[in-house]
Structures are given as structure tokens and as C-alpha cells.
Amino acid sequence: MSESVLIIGGGVCGIQAALDLGDKGMHVYMVEKEPSIGGRMALLDKVFPTNDCSICILAPKMITCFNHPNVDVITCAEVEGLTGKAGAFKVKVHKNARYVDEDKCTGCDACTQACALAGRIPDEWNQNFSTRGAAYIPFMQAVPRVAIIDKERCLLLSRGKCKSQCVEACQRGAIDFKQKDQTVTLDVGAVIVATGLDMYDPTPVTEYGYGRFDNVIHSMEYERLINASGPTGGHLKRRSDDERPRRIAYIQCVGARDVRSGHPYCCSVCCMYATKDSMLAYMHHDDTENIIFYTDLRAFGRGFDEYIKRGVDEYGITYVRARPGEVTEDPETKNLYVWYDDTESGGVKSMEVDMVVLSTAFVPPPGISALGKALGVKMDEFDFFKASDDLLAPMDTNVPGIYIAGACTRPMDVTDAVTQGGGAADRAAQAINDFVGKTSAKAGSVR
Ligand SMILES: Cc1cc2nc3c(=O)[nH]c(=O)nc-3n(C[C@H](O)[C@H](O)[C@H](O)COP(=O)(O)OP(=O)(O)OC[C@H]3O[C@@H](n4cnc5c(N)ncnc54)[C@H](O)[C@@H]3O)c2cc1C
Ligand code: SF4
Ligand code: SF4
């Protein structure tokens, strides 16, 4: 029997669940596959519908979660298997070696600067718009703020050949190339799955030229470019010439609501974040023209319609109801032409723009079905975790004691992910209390 709860995934949803459970006095293990907690929200510049700074809201929660006396965060880790039943699960967790002692590292950055490969590896955090070394700290506000060595790229680990300047630079003796992967077994009474979302790679939607045309980017690339702590210090620039785009087109539902991509569902968030992105471009330079090509405007949440209205009235956003057929490029200027059938006024038209931003589908993270299998939890046809009843028990699964929350259940925004995190925490706490109650009643009857 265990009164601990395991949370898989340390995005905003998992963090909310951990804080709620920790504050109730329950013990939490949080298993996060990346070297830092934070999830997608840590990548964003601002968040609709308030346009608040995303990391300013999230960072205090990340730190409180990590330092909470009732929460143990295990990073670089994934769940491999689960046995037992509600109240008494045994969970096998695989923790990848960081090659840096988390207790000794102060996050001073000396190793990252000294690394033989510093500045030579594309930085995936910044969508490859900047570079890092093999020793690196994932991002400025990472929690824990601890360096990690990239096993595949490090010259010593991959080729056995490096003077290991990182080791010399570290005054704390924190770098430890002898560290090995570990497997640990956790005893928990309940599990919350909060593994969130990934984004569809728009390369197969060849008609929009992603990967072929420099100035066609996707929305996560846009988030990093417009972010003050991003690769350009928040200056939105075209890849082709570093110039500021003055006219930007946003194409909605790329790979979403599209049977060809295998993702026929609506991503529910993209109409709103494209509006936010347009507002941000305008806030930076109020002569920027923003045009959103949408399928239907799905502004379903509280205050969302008003947000769109503000977009039109205060930020001059133009919404065009059309699903563009093609984007072409002027090879000289690298400007783009968006070709579309205007469903309102009728007829095929084209519009010249400086940049195209593709709002791509939300998809489950790669390899997530293996986790579903390990837990015995049912998934839907798209690999989102399936609730036992969407209407009446949206956080329950087919396995008693295992709950689901956030964007691993369907595409959703931060508000919904936080609400579900809180809800799943309550369900897990209730399950453990019921179990403890039943166990002590049984013990009482024996006595
Ligand atoms: C481009 C873009 C812009 C957006 N803009 C907004 C906005 O303005 N406002 C808004 O409200 N929402 C916005 N969203 C949506 C928002 O990002 C999500 O609602 C939110 O991140 C969902 O939180 P989550 O915790 O459920 O999932 P995530 O943030 O995806 O976190 C999941 C966590 O689980 C971890 N994980 C995954 N698999 C495993 C595993 N097998 N084992 C362990 N850990 C695992 C991940 O590494 C991650 O840390 C935007 C999304 C995108 C893509
Ligand atoms: S061993 Fe060399 S390549 Fe590897 S992290 Fe250290 S300095 Fe960088
Ligand atoms: S490993 Fe050492 S040098 Fe690198 S960030 Fe940590 S304390 Fe600094």
C-alpha cells in the first residue's frame, strides 16, 4: 500500500496536479522525460487570452513544484512498466544519465562555454535558430537549472576523443562521465498521466513549401523568434535576409482537420494563438499587417470572441475565410504568394506577403503508445489517452487508480490543462483516501 502519487509529465498540467497534491500533504513523484520541467508553455512568449508573459506565470510554479517538500522530481526519466493495482502500484522508471551530478551543479554555465563543441550544435529549444554545445543547460529558466551532456554529440562519449575542457571548467567537480542510466522502482497508490502534446511536422504538406521556402515557418518557430529570451532577442526576422516582415500570413489547420495527415480533428487552440501571434507582431511594430486564413474561427472559450474582436478593432487583423491551396515564392525577393479561394467574396486570389506562419496540428508525443501499453490504459485512434467517459468521468481511465489530464487527452489550452490537472489531483487523492479508509476498516474488523 502506498499513499504516494506518480505524475508522468512535468508540463503546466502535471505541475498543477503536483502542487495541489503536495499542498494536501500527499507525496508526489514527478517523472519528466526532458532535462527540465515546464513543457510547451515554457517555450511560449505570451499566452492568450490575457497576453501575459508565459514564463512569468510558469516559472514560479516550476520552482515551487521542484522545491516542494512533498514533491520529488525525476528528470530525464520515463516509465517502463507498471504492475499491481490501485493503492499498490509498482512502477519501473528508467532514468537516463545526465553525466552531471544534480546535487553539485550550480548552473553556472562554465562547462557550457568551455565545451569543445560550444556553439556548434543546433539548439532544438530555439527550434534550431541558435546553437549550443554538447554540455548545455536547456534554457535560461530551466528547472532544475543543471547542465546536461548530450550523449550522442559529446566527443568523449560518442568517440572517446576530447580534452574534456568541460571537466576542467567546472569548479564544483559536478561533471561525471562515469554516471550510468538507472532503473528505479516506485511504490505509488495512484498515477496521473500528463504527457501533453507535440506538434505536427508540416513538411509533408508540400503545397505550403515548409522546408523549401526560407520564410515559411511554423507557429512554434514563430513563438521562439518573437520571444525576448529567444534566439533573436524577440526581433521577428525573416530567415532569408534578417529583415523584419511587414506583412504576415497565418495559415490555420495545417495537418489538422485533414484526413491526409491522419489528424482529422480540430486542434482547438490555433485560431486563438494565431490571433495572439498577430497581436504580438503589431505590438512590436504597429505598421505590421497580419492576415489569418482560417477554416472556421473556433473561439469557443470565455472571452475568446471578445479577443478576436479586439484583434480586428485594436490590432487591425484581417481574417480571411479560406483554406489556401498553395504558397509560391518569388526567387528574387523570397517574398511569398498565398493562393486561396476566398469563400466569402468568391474566386481564386493571391496575396503577396513577407512571411507565412503555419498553425500546425497538435499531436501526441512520439512513442506515447508504448506508455499506454505499459500502463494498460486505452488510447483513442489518434493516440490520445482515452477517458472512461468523456462527459461524466473525463479524468478516469479503464484502469482504476490511473487518471489522465491535460493535452495528452485532446488538444487544449493552458486554462483547461490546469483545470484538468487540479481535477486529476482530486481524483487521485480521493482514490488513495478511499483505499486507506478501506484498508484501515479491514484492519479494524480483523482486530
Ligand atoms: C505554438 C503554440 C502556441 C500556444 N499558445 C497558447 C496560448 O497562447 N495560450 C494557451 O492557453 N495555450 C497555448 N498553447 C497550448 C499550451 O501549450 C498547452 O495547453 C499546454 O502546454 C498543455 O499543457 P500540458 O501540461 O498538458 O502538456 P505539455 O505542456 O505538452 O507538457 C507535457 C510534459 O510531459 C512530458 N512528457 C511527454 N511524454 C512523456 C513521457 N513519456 N514520460 C515523461 N514525460 C513525458 C513533456 O516533456 C512535457 O514536459 C499553445 C501551444 C502551441 C503548440
Ligand atoms: S567532453 Fe568535450 S565535447 Fe563532451 S561536453 Fe566536455 S568539452 Fe564538450
Ligand atoms: S556542471 Fe559545473 S560548470 Fe557546468 S553548469 Fe554545473 S556547476 Fe557550472
Instruction: Determine which of 90-94, 263-267, 290-294, 311-315 has the lowest per-residue pLDDT on average.
Output: 263-267
- Write out pLDDT tens, residues 184-229: 999 999 999 999 999 999 999 999 999 999 999 999 999 999 999 9
CB 90 within 8 A of CB 82: yes
Q: Could you identify the atom of ligand 3 that is nearest to the CA of residue 135?
A: 4
Say yes or no to pLDDT of 444 above 80: no
How does 122-154 read in b/e, with b if 16+ C-beta sit within 10 Å? Answer: ebebbbebeebbbbbbbbebbbbbbbbbbeebb
Q: At the top level of CATH, which class does the domain 4-96+181-197+364-446 belong to?
A: alpha beta
Global pTM reads: 0.96
For ligand 1, the distance from its centroid to the CA atom of residue 40, given in whole angstroms, is: 4
290 with 278: CB under 8 angstroms?
A: yes
Give the pLDDT confidence score for residue 260 in this predicted structure.
Answer: 85
Give, to the nearest 10 degrees, the angle between helix 12-23 and helix 414-446.
Answer: 40
Alpha carbon of 31 to ligand 3 centroid (Å): 23
* CB-facing half-sphere around the CA of 42: CA atoms within 13 A: 25
For the CA atoms of the chain, what is the radius of gyration? 24
Give pLDDT tens digits for 226-246: 999 999 999 999 999 999 999
Question: What is the band of 22 on the pLDDT scale with cuts at 50, 70, 90?
Answer: very high
Cβ atoms within 10 A of the Cβ of 355, count? 29
Provide the pLDDT confidence category of residue 443 given band limits of 50, 70 and 90: low
DSSP state of 69: T
Neighbouring residues of 208: CB distance < 8 A, sequence distance ≥ 6 = 202, 216, 251, 254, 324, 326, 327, 356, 358
User: Would the pLDDT of 280 be above 60?
Assistant: yes
Strand-pair partners of 7: 30, 192
pLDDT at 361 over 50: yes
CATH superfamily of 200-361: FAD/NAD(P)-binding domain (3.50.50.60)
The cell for 249 is: 500570413
CA 11 remoteness from chain centre:
7
Nearest to 387 by CA among 414, 420, 358, 362: 420
Q: Which helix (H) or strand (E) holds 53?
A: strand 52-53
**Numbers of helices and strands, H then E, in the chain:** 10, 24
Q: Whose CA is nearest to atom 5 of ligand 2?
A: 135
Q: Which contiguous run of DSSP H or E holds residue 61? A: helix 54-67
Which ligand has the nearest atom to the CA of 160? 2
**Alpha carbon of 114 to ligand 2 centroid (Å):** 8
Q: Which atom of ligand 3 is nearest to the CA of 173?
A: 2
Q: 223 and 42 in contact (C-beta within 8 Å)?
A: no
User: What are residue 310's phi and psi, to 5 degrees?
Assistant: -60, -35
How does pLDDT run across 131-151, given as a tens digit for each residue? 999 999 999 999 999 999 999
Report residue 447's pLDDT band, with 50, 70 and 90 as the boundaries. very low
Which ligand 2 atom lies nearest to the CA of residue 149? 5
Contact call for residues 256 and 274 (beta carbons, < 8 A): no
Share of the chain above pLDDT 70, in %: 98
Give the closest ligand to the alpha carbon of residue 100: 3
Residue 375 pLDDT > 80, yes or no?
yes
Q: State the ligand closest to the CA atom of 152.
A: 2
Residue 250 DSSP SS3: strand
Domain residue limits, the chain: 4-96+181-197+364-446, 110-169, 200-361
Tell me: the pLDDT tens digits for 284-327? 999 999 999 999 888 888 899 999 999 999 999 999 999 999 99
**Can you tell me the distance from the alpha carbon of 40 to that of 44, in angstroms, rounded to the nearest whole number?**
7
Peptide bond into 144 cis (omega under 30): yes
Q: Among the bound ligands, name the one nearest to the CA of residue 150.
A: 2
Residue 221 near residue 239, CB atoms below 8 Å = no
pLDDT of amino acid 442: 62
Residue 445 has pLDDT above 60, yes or no: no
Task: Say yes or no: CB of residue 115 within 6 Å of ligand 2.
Answer: yes
CB-based contacts of 385, cutoff 8 Å, min separation 6: 193, 195, 372, 377, 378, 379, 397, 404, 408, 409
Say how far apart CA 153 and CA 161 lie, in whole Å.
Answer: 12
CA of 72 to the centre of ligand 3 (A): 22
CA distances from 345 to 293, 321, 322, 328, 342 (A): 14, 9, 10, 22, 6
Q: What is the mean pLDDT of residues 84-109?
A: 97
pLDDT tens per residue, range 160-175: 999 999 999 999 999 9
Atom 7 of ligand 3, nearest CA residue: 105
Give the position, in ligand 3's atom list, of the atom nearest the Cα of 137. 5
439 — pLDDT class (breaks 50, 70, 90): low
CA of 109 to the centre of ligand 3 (A): 6
Rounded to whole angstroms, the Cα distance separating 420 from 415 reads: 9
Ligand 1 neighbours, Cβ below 6 Å, are 8-14, 31-34, 39-41, 44, 47-48, 78, 194-197, 199, 219-220, 223, 269, 273, 276, 365, 371, 406-407, 412-415, 417
Per-residue pLDDT reduced to its tens digit, 390-433: 999 999 999 999 999 999 999 999 999 999 999 999 999 999 98
233 Cβ contact partners less than 8 Å away, ≥ 6 residues apart:
none
